[in-house]
Amino acid sequence: MSIPHLIREARLAQQLDVDALCRKTGVAKNHLLDIEAGKGSSFHTVAYCKRAVMTVAEALQITQQVESLWRDEDWQAVSMPTRLAGLAEPSSTLLPGAKPDGEPNRRWLPIAGILLLLSTVGIGLHRMDEAEVDRPVAKSARSAAPAKDGAGPAAEAIGPSSGVASAPQSPDPSQLLRADVERAMQDWARLWSIRSAQDYAGLYSKEFVGVEDHIRIRSQRMAQAKFIQVELTDLSFRETGPGEVTVRFRQRYRSDSHQSEDLKELVWRRSPAGIRIWSERLVN
């Protein structure tokens, strides 16, 4: 099992969504998403990536498992830029050297003072020249620009509006909800197929009518089966209430002792614990 898979399974088992884990650990959401995706592109260094991963592992109480699986090469992190060549050390050729006892060579001091004075005077003269050149240019630019009809000093004061950047739009909550439900449907079928009864049960809300009997029967079948394959096709999503999405789909179930194909519906709702199943029914 990989570290991203282990962290995701532990998060689902504790009924935490990414936002809740972000609040619990203090790790940024983009880092958490990268960790579960097995990437390190949002980190500056591999060491920084490892600190974030171990922080999450400690919060999920899987520190030893993650530590045993860690490999630097598994994370494609972006390294910090190196210092520019030539800036690490001052050049020893720009100034005269010191005597062995640390005392500067005094014969160079008068020359260095003259050079500094000439440089200061030159900069002052250059700035005066620039000021003299700028004045007529600015005046001629104003006089050369023809005035448009109806335009006056007030129009000049307003200025162009094209430079104003528009505020970024917030993501559509309904699209975010659907994306979460799509991922949850994949998890539901996968956990059922690998017969992970505890994680599978964590996807069901406590408000699900008859949830205890439903989970007990499913868990028994998982334990008895030698293998299970669950395939979902023809999925359709519709928002049926605030924070609620109903998914209709065709389910193909196959195990060593049973095969079936059914049209089903799952109702998912967003809760403080994350996306959870509130009802499940056959539509046949």
Greater confidence, 57 or 87? 57
Look at the alpha carbons of 139, 140, 141, 147 in this order and tell me if their dihedral is positive or negative.
positive
Per the listing, tokens 């909550």 go with: 173
How confident is residue 99, by pLDDT bands cut at 50, 70 and 90? very low
For residue 233, give the nearest of 203, 263, 205 by alpha carbon. Answer: 263
Q: pLDDT tens digits, residue range 139-196?
A: 444 444 444 454 444 444 444 444 455 556 666 788 899 999 999 999 999 999 999 9
pLDDT value of residue 34: 85
* pLDDT winner (highest mean) among 19-23, 71-75, 168-172: 19-23
pLDDT value of residue 174: 81
Greater confidence, 280 or 109? 280
CATH topology of domain 173-282: Nuclear Transport Factor 2; Chain: A, (3.10.450)
> 0.95 cut: is pTM over it?
no
The percentage of the chain sitting over the pLDDT mark of 70, rounded to a whole number, equals 66
pLDDT value of residue 249: 97
* Helix locations, the chain, DSSP H: 3-13, 18-25, 29-37, 46-59, 63-69, 109-144, 153-158, 173-193, 197-201, 211-224
Q: pLDDT tens digits, residue range 225-262?
A: 999 999 999 999 999 998 999 999 999 999 999 999 99
Contact 262, 250 (CB under 8 A): yes
Find all residues with CB under 8 Å of 280, minimum gap 6, and list them.
Answer: 208, 214, 264, 265, 266, 267
Task: Classify residue 180 as exposed, middle or buried by CB count within 10 Å of its CB (0-12, 13-18, 19+).
Answer: middle
How confident is residue 197, by pLDDT bands cut at 50, 70 and 90? very high
Tell me, yes or no, if the two domains 3-74 and 173-282 fold the same way: no
Domain boundaries, the chain: 3-74, 173-282
Contact 202, 140 (CB under 8 A): no
Contact 55, 25 (CB under 8 A): yes
Residue 120 has pLDDT above 50, yes or no: yes
The CATH classification number of 3-74 equals 1.10.260.40
Contact 24, 33 (CB under 8 A): no
The percentage of the chain sitting over the pLDDT mark of 90, rounded to a whole number, equals 40
